[in-house]
Amino acid sequence: MNQQLLAKTFVELADNLVADFDLIDFLRLLTDRCVGMLGASAAGVLLADRDGELRVMAASDEQVRLLELFQLQNDEGPCLAAFRTGAQVIVPDLTREIDRWPRFVTAAHRSGFGAVQALPMRLRDETVGALNLFHATPGPFDPVDAPVAQALADVATISLLQQRSSARSTVLNEQLQTALNSRVLIEQAKGKLAERQNIDMEQAFTTLRGYARAHNRRLSDVARAFIDDSEPLPGLLV
């Protein structure tokens, strides 16, 4: 683990957790840094909805295949285990877990992943979701990385409580609901932009995020304005 990179990442994350940050944008940054700093091949943040269903809030790649791999874990997999038990689930070699999670291991293998970690997102006595890290090659994880990964999961939890729209509410339920709804909004905007521009879902996401950043706007505000056609958004469509 590169100490300088570690320090830089936490400074960057803290910097982004200021008054007017956008939750989805922030969580995407966090998953990107999981990939860069922890040597993961892919990362995702999953939150449980009111029915206890795990839903993807952010992923280091928005392609359908990766999102499906996260969603699949509503039936079986390390994320579900971490969410249900509130404990870390570390799997250095997925092939050894084929009996435990046959569908998940097969799908992960097909996507080129050999090892996985799931870190619970805990808030007081409750587990609200999990941070999921995928690694291409099996092998033992660096013991130094484990607490860092858990710290990143904790930062993701904190960011939920810091959303602007929830400033009026201290009710966890309501904050989760707001978070899940902003993810739905982003998916709708991705679909519209992908179809309009004939690009894929990952490109649609990065285009929307790039536009929001370049114009110093919140991602969800841009997504909303784009869906509603309520303002011109010059330069978003080429």
Site string for other proteins, 33-52 (x = CB under 8 A): ----------------xxxx
Cβ nearer to other proteins, comparing 155 with 179 = 179
**In terms of Cα–Cα distance, which of 216, 225, 230, 234 is closest to 189?**
225
From 23, 81, 152, 194, residue interacting with other proteins (rule: CB under 8 A): 194
**64 is a site residue for other proteins (CB under 8 A):** yes
Looking at beta carbons only, is 18 or 167 nearer to other proteins?
167
Binding flag, residue 231, other proteins (CB under 8 A): no
Q: Shortest distance, CB of residue 78 to other proteins, whole angstroms?
A: 19
Go through 96-132 and write b for each residue having 16 or more CB atoms within 10 A of its CB, e for each that does not: ebeeebeebbebbeebebbbbbbbbbbbeeebbbbbb
Question: Is 181 one of the binding residues for other proteins (CB under 8 A)?
Answer: yes
Q: Which of 3, 143, 228, 234 binds other proteins (CB under 8 A)?
A: 228
Q: How far is the C-alpha of 58 from the C-alpha of 38, rounded, in Å?
A: 17
Tokens representing 154?
């904790």
Does position 190 interact with other proteins (CB under 8 A)? The reply is yes
Give the number of C-alpha atoms closer than 13 A to the C-alpha of residue 207, restricted to the C-beta side.
22
Residue with tokens 């046959």: 102
- Shortest distance, position 148 Cβ to other proteins, whole Å: 28
Q: Are 31 and 57 a contacting pair, CB within 8 Å?
A: no
Q: Does 191 bind other proteins (CB under 8 A)?
A: yes
Q: Does 171 bind other proteins (CB under 8 A)?
A: yes
Of 35, 67, 146, 199, which one interacts with other proteins (CB under 8 A)?
Answer: 67
Is residue 82 within 8 Å of 89, Cβ to Cβ? yes
Interface residue with other proteins among 168, 216, 234, 238 (CB under 8 A) is: 168
Of residues 185, 81, 75, the one with CA closest to residue 130: 81
Question: Measured between alpha carbons, how far is 43 from 84 in angstroms, rounded to an integer?
Answer: 19
Query: Does residue 56 bind other proteins (CB under 8 A)?
Result: yes
| 215/209 Cα distance (integer angstroms) | 10
Where does this chain touch other proteins (CB under 8 A) — which range of 5-13, 34-42, 145-153, 188-196?
188-196
Cβ nearer to other proteins, comparing 13 with 176: 176
Q: How far is the CB of 67 from other proteins (least distance, A)?
A: 6
Report the distance separating Cα 200 and Cα 198, nearest Å: 7
Contacts with other proteins by CB under 8 A lie at 49-53, 55-56, 64, 67, 71, 74, 165-166, 168-169, 171-174, 177-178, 181-182, 184-196, 201, 223-224, 227-228, 230
